[in-house]
């Protein structure tokens, strides 16, 4: 019996927690969180990785579509045939329409260097990701305030005195290190204020809970800013030194009084006042989390921006228990790891989503995926002909899959490169099966923070089926497409050595702990001299963003009250459970066993009006789309909202467990694909209203014949 | 006589149900048997915040276990340190223990046709480790406690 212990990185969700895996004869026997960073801690998904590995309801060998798109007729082919098929089609497309007609999307994360090098190597600028349906508003809000993206700061939650969360369900989202920081902070007597339209697994640990009317986050943030300014409990010195146009903020929030905000949000003014008095004492160790998935309301960009501004008012920048600049290798006197993409000439074509030329205020790294659909439909600025999705399912991530399919029908080639069957994969022309995270090596990556480190994923076992790692697939495709020179490796070990070469570290440096720490103690900048650290055009923290002004957009947008649902209607909001990573894990046997379905949370008073009690079936209807799930009747959701966990309602027949289990919120959002926050680039995914009625499917009255 | 206990600090538990999967994967269990469980009280308003308490349950490892008494083959045993366990070699899957246990703790493993139950991961304990649920608890809310006589 051959026993092994391997340092690696989880891949069940995109948090990518560090893990240690034990194997016996190429079988995984044990997975735990890396003892050095997580003291063994792992979540349910992390443990269920073994079930993913052993599950055969995932693509096990390459598949080429036989029937029409989505018809589900597949031919199993060899890797040679599949790669040749993809490469030949891409070559034809490039010849006819140019390389820029190819786009590639992924889920973002630390390994995108490989994918950027591939798409740029082909000569296309069209690299994109899922973030329009996730954190783009937060990211762009951060850029507009600090000139730094949302990963430019790390929140030192453990040492903070007060964590403020606006709908950020931080404990159910389960970044294990972060969750433990929150709990340690609470154990040490810290406070947590939670704002949401419903009570969540995070809110139950809070010391204060504001149940607000859906869509009024921005109002609450403005009211708090008003009160902080009125009481002058902000960091005057910090603001004088680093912030521009502070007077414009004072002027702007003048009418947004605390009483106004309380009335708008449906909470008591006195409770907000108490809160502001508390943070005045706890400051600067107060963290306003600017949000993660903030593609919610039409003003979520401005809500997030207001939260960023509140952090500035707290003066929490580069202080313990506040926001700390994310440091890289350069801050520790170490050279960066070598980048594949940096060796590739930059494509000259402009992006098809318009980012960088039509929309100058958006980050052109990944651009904005939904805008590509417009380009597909119109053929402007040029026709798009191929889409490669790497572990990204746009039909689950973005609303209105039907509208997406209509746009994709203009394309000649759809490639799904995934460990799972996704709904996009089911509709695509080719499925290239990627090995699961337990069977594949990934690039070495940098994890920035107060104590930056180099991290890596090593395969724990050899692939159990005819699957390949992303590194191999990209390399094999690149060779066929004549851009193999940008991928100077045959084995992953060669790639790793090539990446590490400038840093002076070797693979052996990862042996002890699974990562390479670049600093023993947190690296802190001199807070008295942060000049040059803010990357805005003015070099200051900008209340009025020059980039937004140049784009003709307001930096401080007047508040507009959200629409109220009509009688019998509800605003559809969605979220996540700690047991599932959205749709990725829905078909995992062990996770499905614990959470096979989603339910519709509905307020008790509203349910009573509909004659619905706990566990009854309800129809959820929106513009011709209907689904039926069980009701969860609770006091702890706002009267105007209904809630469901995202990721369910799968319609991939080969996923027999998840097939048609529960409802997919995004499928109810007909017409929402183009509803984008023009300033933040995030989609407005909580602006959909649904009708709810008691289903004729009645658990209390069913006849058996 | 009873020596061990698993204690849940409800303040740190976030209801992620990780322990249930940690247990199942360690014992290689298929869909069906679930040897430990997290449950939660309905939400209740406490000082303006809807709160809940989490509870953890596995096996009580009774002082005088009915499951052991009823087992016809001696597969169900109580060890010197109080752990109630099933000897897989001796279990014939008659399920008498399942009926005998007030809490339905022993469960049938459909893959093997034999009974499985929480044994505090005794192979791990004997190797100086902690049970799987405790070792991997996402928030370190579960503690493996050795009881001492005072």
- Residue B21: its chain A contacts at CB < 8 A? 44, 47-48, 590-591, 594
For chain B, the structural domain boundaries read 4-146
User: Which band of pLDDT confidence, cut at 50, 70 and 90, is reported for residue A700?
Assistant: confident
End-to-end CA distance of chain A: 56
Question: Cα separations (Å) of A539 from A199, A245, A428, A533, B114?
Answer: 40, 13, 46, 7, 69
pLDDT tens-place string over residues A633-670: 999 999 999 999 999 999 999 999 999 999 999 999 99
Measured in angstroms, the CA of A21 and the nearest CA of chain B are apart by 12
Rounded-to-10 torsion of CA A609, A615, A618, A620: 100
pLDDT at A126 over 80: yes
Strands A413-418, A386-390: pairing is: parallel
Given A33, A171, A203, which is nearest B136 (Cβ)? A33
Higher-scoring residue by pLDDT: A335, A701: A335
CA–CA distance, A222 with A230 (Å, rounded to integer)? 12
Span A311-330, mean pLDDT?
98
Please state, for a pLDDT cut of 90, what percent of chain A lies above it: 98
Measured in angstroms, the CA of A703 and the nearest CA of chain B are apart by 28
Measured in angstroms, the CA of B123 and the nearest CA of chain A are apart by 14
> What is the number of other CB atoms lying within 10 angstroms of the CB of residue A521?
7
The two structure tokens encoding residue B2: 């009873």
Question: Cα separations (Å) of A122 from A125, A335, A367, A508?
Answer: 9, 28, 18, 34
Nearest CA in chain B to A577: B16
What is the number of residues in chain B?
150
Beta carbons of B139 and A579 less than 8 Å apart: no
Nearest CA in chain B to A192: B49
- Residue B52: its chain A contacts at CB < 8 A? 204
CA–CA distance, A584 with A370 (Å, rounded to integer)? 21
CA–CA distance, A667 with A395 (Å, rounded to integer)? 9
CA–CA distance, A239 with A247 (Å, rounded to integer)? 11
- In this prediction, residue A303 carries a pLDDT of 98
Beta carbons of B25 and A174 less than 8 Å apart: no
Q: Do domains A3-54 and A569-694 have the same CATH topology?
A: no
* Three-class SS state of A362: coil
Beta carbons of A44 and B20 less than 8 Å apart: yes
Which one, of A46, A39, A79, lies nearest residue A63 by Cα?
A79
Number of Cβ pairs < 8 A linking chain A and chain B: 106
For chain A, the structural domain boundaries read 3-54, 157-321, 569-694
User: Which band of pLDDT confidence, cut at 50, 70 and 90, is reported for residue A698?
Assistant: confident
The two structure tokens encoding residue A536: 């805005």
CA–CA distance, A342 with A350 (Å, rounded to integer)? 19
- In this prediction, residue B147 carries a pLDDT of 87
End-to-end CA distance of chain B: 13
Decide: A334 and A504 in contact? Cβ < 8 Å: yes
Cα A662 to chain centroid, rounded: 22
Return the residue matching tokens 């960073």: A37
Sign of the dihedral through C-alpha A641, A647, A653, A659: negative
B residues 21-80 closer than 8 Å to A (CB): 21-22, 24-26, 30-31, 34, 43, 48-52
Residue A229 CB partners (closer than 8 Å, separation 6+): A249, A250, A253, A313
Beta carbons of B50 and A636 less than 8 Å apart: yes
User: Which band of pLDDT confidence, cut at 50, 70 and 90, is reported for residue B2?
Assistant: low
- Judge residue B1's burial from the number of C-beta atoms within 10 Å of its C-beta, 0-12 exposed, 13-18 middle, 19 or more buried: exposed
- In this prediction, residue A703 carries a pLDDT of 83
Beta carbons of B138 and A174 less than 8 Å apart: yes
Given B17, B48, B140, which is nearest A41 (Cβ)? B140
CA–CA distance, A55 with A588 (Å, rounded to integer)? 7
- Residue A172: its chain B contacts at CB < 8 A? 14, 16
Beta carbons of B50 and A208 less than 8 Å apart: no
Measured in angstroms, the CA of A41 and the nearest CA of chain B are apart by 4
Cα A682 to chain centroid, rounded: 11
Span A297-321, mean pLDDT?
98
The two structure tokens encoding residue A51: 């079930």
CA–CA distance, B133 with B136 (Å, rounded to integer)? 6
- Residue A174: its chain B contacts at CB < 8 A? 16, 138
- In this prediction, residue A704 carries a pLDDT of 82
Decide: A443 and A510 in contact? Cβ < 8 Å: no
Answer yes or no: is the ipTM higher than 0.85: yes
CATH classification for the domain delimited by A157-321, as one of 3.40.50.720, 3.40.50.1980, 1.10.260.40, 3.40.228.10: 3.40.228.10
CATH classification for the domain delimited by A3-54, as one of 3.40.50.880, 1.10.287.130, 3.40.50.300, 2.20.25.90: 2.20.25.90
Mean pLDDT across chain A:
97
Which one, of A659, A660, A651, A654, lies nearest residue A58 by Cα?
A654
Which DSSP string corresponds to A616-676?
-EEEEEETTEEEEEEEEEESSB-TTEEEEETT--B--TT-TTTBT-S--GGGG-TT-TT-B
- Residue A590: its chain B contacts at CB < 8 A? 21, 24-25, 31
Measured in angstroms, the CA of B70 and the nearest CA of chain A are apart by 30
Beta carbons of B18 and A42 less than 8 Å apart: yes
- In this prediction, residue B1 carries a pLDDT of 61
* Three-class SS state of A417: strand
Q: At what angle do helices A217-230 and A269-282 cross, to 10 degrees?
A: 60
CA–CA distance, A382 with A372 (Å, rounded to integer)? 11
Span A280-292, mean pLDDT?
97
CATH classification for the domain delimited by B4-146, as one of 2.40.110.10, 3.30.420.40, 3.30.70.20, 3.30.460.10: 3.30.70.20
CA–CA distance, A136 with A151 (Å, rounded to integer)? 12
Decide: A332 and A523 in contact? Cβ < 8 Å: yes
Beta carbons of B14 and A40 less than 8 Å apart: no
Question: Cα separations (Å) of A415 from A392, A425, A429, A470, B97?
Answer: 11, 7, 6, 13, 53
**CATH number assigned to the domain covering A569-694:** 2.40.40.20
* DSSP, res A26: T
pLDDT tens-place string over residues A356-397: 999 999 999 999 999 999 999 999 999 999 999 999 999 999
- Judge residue A380's burial from the number of C-beta atoms within 10 Å of its C-beta, 0-12 exposed, 13-18 middle, 19 or more buried: exposed
> CA B132, B137, B140 angle in degrees (round to 5)?
125
Q: At what angle do helices A79-97 and A470-480 cross, to 10 degrees?
A: 50
> What is the number of other CB atoms lying within 10 angstroms of the CB of residue B64?
7
What is the number of residues in chain A?
705
pLDDT tens-place string over residues B98-115: 999 999 999 999 999 999
Beta carbons of A203 and B12 less than 8 Å apart: no
Decide: B139 and B13 in contact? Cβ < 8 Å: yes
Q: Is B137 on the interface with A (CB under 8 A)?
A: yes
Please state, for a pLDDT cut of 90, what percent of chain B lies above it: 95
- Residue B144: its chain A contacts at CB < 8 A? none
Span A679-690, mean pLDDT?
97
- Residue A50: its chain B contacts at CB < 8 A? 25
Given A205, A271, A590, which is nearest B24 (Cβ)? A590
Nearest CA in chain A to B16: A578
Given B14, B18, B43, which is nearest A47 (Cβ)? B18
The two structure tokens encoding residue A190: 């810290």
Nearest CA in chain B to A175: B138
Given A39, A44, A176, which is nearest B21 (Cβ)? A44
- Residue A51: its chain B contacts at CB < 8 A? 25
pLDDT tens-place string over residues A146-178: 999 999 999 999 999 999 999 999 999 999 999
Which DSSP string corresponds to A151-164?
GGEEE-GGG-SEEE
pLDDT at A224 over 90: yes
Which one, of A305, A315, A320, lies nearest residue A232 by Cα?
A315
Nearest CA in chain B to A53: B25
Nearest CA in chain A to B10: A205
User: Which band of pLDDT confidence, cut at 50, 70 and 90, is reported for residue A204?
Assistant: very high
Decide: A429 and A65 in contact? Cβ < 8 Å: yes
Which one, of A641, A639, A654, A652, lies nearest residue A690 by Cα?
A641
Return the residue matching tokens 């209105």: A400
Question: Cα separations (Å) of B82 from A261, A512, B1, B132, B144?
Answer: 60, 38, 6, 18, 14
- Judge residue A646's burial from the number of C-beta atoms within 10 Å of its C-beta, 0-12 exposed, 13-18 middle, 19 or more buried: buried
Span A54-64, mean pLDDT?
97
Beta carbons of B17 and A32 less than 8 Å apart: no
- Residue A46: its chain B contacts at CB < 8 A? 18, 136
Span A232-257, mean pLDDT?
98
Beta carbons of A636 and B43 less than 8 Å apart: yes
Span A186-203, mean pLDDT?
98
Beta carbons of A208 and B12 less than 8 Å apart: no
Beta carbons of B52 and A204 less than 8 Å apart: yes
pLDDT tens-place string over residues A6-16: 999 999 999 99
Which one, of A569, A420, A500, A505, lies nearest residue A12 by Cα?
A420
Measured in angstroms, the CA of B137 and the nearest CA of chain A are apart by 5
- Residue A186: its chain B contacts at CB < 8 A? 11
pLDDT tens-place string over residues A572-614: 999 999 999 999 999 999 999 999 999 999 999 999 999 999 9
Q: HSE on the CB side for A327, CA within 13 Å?
A: 22
**Using H for helix, E for strand and C for coil, what is the string for chain B?**
CCCEEEEECCCCCCCCCHHHHHHHHHHCCCCCCCCCEEEECCCEEECCEEECCEEEECCCCCCCCHHHHHCCCCCEEECCCCCEEECCCCCCCCCHHHHHCCCCCCEEECCCCEEECCCCCHHHHHCCCCCHHHHHCCCCCEEEEECCCC
- In this prediction, residue A685 carries a pLDDT of 97
Give the H or E element holding residue A600: strand A599-603
């Amino acid at each position: 019996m051959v026993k092994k212990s391997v340092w690696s990185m989880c891949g069940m969700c995109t948090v990518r927690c560090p893990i240690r895996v034990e194997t016996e004869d190429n079988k995984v026997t044990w997975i735990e969180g890396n003892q050095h960073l997580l003291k063994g801690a792992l979540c349910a998904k992390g443990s269920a990785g073994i079930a993913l590995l052993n599950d055969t309801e995932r693509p096990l060998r390459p598949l080429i579509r036989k029937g029409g798109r989505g018809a589900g007729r597949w031919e199993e082919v060899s890797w040679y045939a599949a790669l040749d098929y993809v490469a030949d089609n891409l070559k034809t497309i490039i010849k006819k329409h140019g390389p820029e007609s190819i786009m590639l999307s992924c889920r973002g994360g630390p390994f995108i260097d490989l994918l950027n090098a591939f798409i740029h190597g082909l000569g296309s600028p069209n690299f994109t990701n899922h973030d329009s349906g996730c954190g783009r508003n937060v990211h762009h809000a951060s850029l507009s305030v600090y000139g730094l993206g949302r990963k430019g700061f790390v929140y030192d939650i453990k040492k903070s005195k007060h964590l403020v969360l606006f709908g950020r369900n931080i404990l159910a989202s389960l970044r294990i290190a972060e969750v433990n920081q929150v709990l340690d902070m609470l154990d040490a007597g810290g406070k947590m204020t939670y704002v949401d339209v419903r009570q969540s697994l995070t809110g139950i640990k809070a010391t204060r809970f504001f149940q607000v009317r859906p869509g009024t986050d921005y109002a609450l943030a403005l009211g708090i800013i008003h009160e902080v300014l009125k009481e002058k409990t902000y960091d005057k010195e910090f603001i004088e030194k680093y912030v521009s146009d502070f007077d414009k903020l004072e002027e702007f929030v003048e009418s947004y009084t605390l009483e106004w905000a309380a009335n708008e949000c449906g909470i008591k003014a006195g409770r907000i006042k108490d809160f502001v008095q508390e943070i005045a004492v706890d400051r600067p160790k107060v963290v306003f989390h600017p949000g993660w998935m903030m593609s919610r309301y039409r003003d979520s960009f401005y809500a997030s921006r207001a939260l960023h501004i509140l952090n500035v008012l707290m003066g929490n920048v580069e202080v313990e228990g506040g926001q700390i600049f994310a440091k890289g290798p350069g801050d520790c006197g170490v050279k960066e790891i070598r980048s594949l993409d940096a060796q590739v000439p930059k494509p000259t074509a402009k992006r098809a989503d318009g980012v960088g030329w039509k929309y100058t205020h958006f980050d052109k790294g990944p651009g904005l995926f939904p805008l590509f659909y417009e380009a597909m439909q119109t053929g402007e600025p040029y026709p798009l002909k191929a889409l490669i999705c790497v572990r990204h399912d746009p039909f689950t991530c973005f609303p209105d899959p039907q509208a997406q399919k209509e746009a994709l029908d203009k394309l000649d080639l759809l490639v799904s490169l995934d460990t799972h069957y996704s709904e996009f994969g089911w509709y695509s022309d080719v499925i290239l099966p990627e090995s699961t995270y337990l069977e594949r090596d990934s690039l070495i990556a940098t994890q920035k923070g107060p104590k930056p480190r180099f991290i890596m994923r090593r395969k724990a076992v050899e692939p159990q089926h005819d699957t390949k790692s992303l590194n191999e697939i990209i390399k094999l495709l690149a060779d066929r497409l004549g851009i193999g020179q940008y991928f100077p490796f045959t084995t992953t070990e060669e790639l790793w050595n090539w990446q590490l070469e400038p840093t002076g570290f070797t693979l052996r440096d990862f042996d002890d702990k699974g990562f390479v720490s670049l600093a023993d103690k947190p690296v802190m900048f001199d807070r008295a001299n942060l000049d040059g650290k803010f990357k805005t055009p003015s070099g200051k923290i900008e209340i009025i963003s020059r980039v937004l002004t140049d784009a003709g957009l307001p930096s401080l947008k007047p508040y507009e009250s959200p629409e109220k649902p009509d009688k019998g209607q509800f605003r559809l909001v969605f979220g996540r459970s700690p047991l599932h990573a959205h749709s990725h894990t829905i078909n995992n046997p062990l996770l499905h066993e614990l959470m096979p379905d989603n339910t519709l949370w509905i307020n008790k008073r509203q349910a009573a009006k509909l004659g619905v009690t706990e566990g009854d079936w309800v129809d959820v209807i929106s513009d011709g789309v209907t689904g039926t799930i069980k009701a969860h009747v609770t006091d702890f959701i706002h009267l105007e909202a209904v809630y469901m966990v995202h990721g369910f309602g799968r319609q991939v027949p080969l996923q027999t467990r998840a097939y048609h289990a529960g409802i997919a919120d995004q499928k109810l959002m007909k017409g929402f694909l183009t509803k984008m926050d023009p300033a933040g680039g995030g989609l407005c995914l909580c602006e959909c209203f649904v009708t709810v009625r008691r289903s004729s499917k009645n658990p209390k009255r069913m006849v058996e014949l | 006589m009873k020596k061990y206990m698993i204690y849940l600090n409800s303040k740190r538990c976030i209801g992620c149900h990780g322990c249930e999967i940690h247990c199942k994967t360690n014992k290689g269990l298929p869909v069906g048997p679930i040897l430990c469980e997290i449950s939660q009280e309905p939400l209740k308003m406490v000082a303006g915040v809807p709160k809940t308490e989490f509870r953890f349950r596995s096996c009580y490892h009774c002082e005088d276990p009915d499951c052991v008494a009823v087992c016809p083959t001696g597969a169900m045993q109580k060890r010197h340190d109080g752990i109630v366990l099933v000897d897989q070699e001796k279990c014939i899957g008659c399920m008498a223990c399942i009926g005998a246990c007030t809490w339905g703790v022993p469960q049938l493993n459909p893959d093997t046709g034999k009974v499985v139950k929480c044994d505090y991961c005794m192979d791990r304990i004997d190797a100086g480790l902690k049970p799987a649920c405790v070792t991997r608890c996402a928030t370190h809310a579960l503690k493996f406690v050795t009881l001492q006589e005072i």
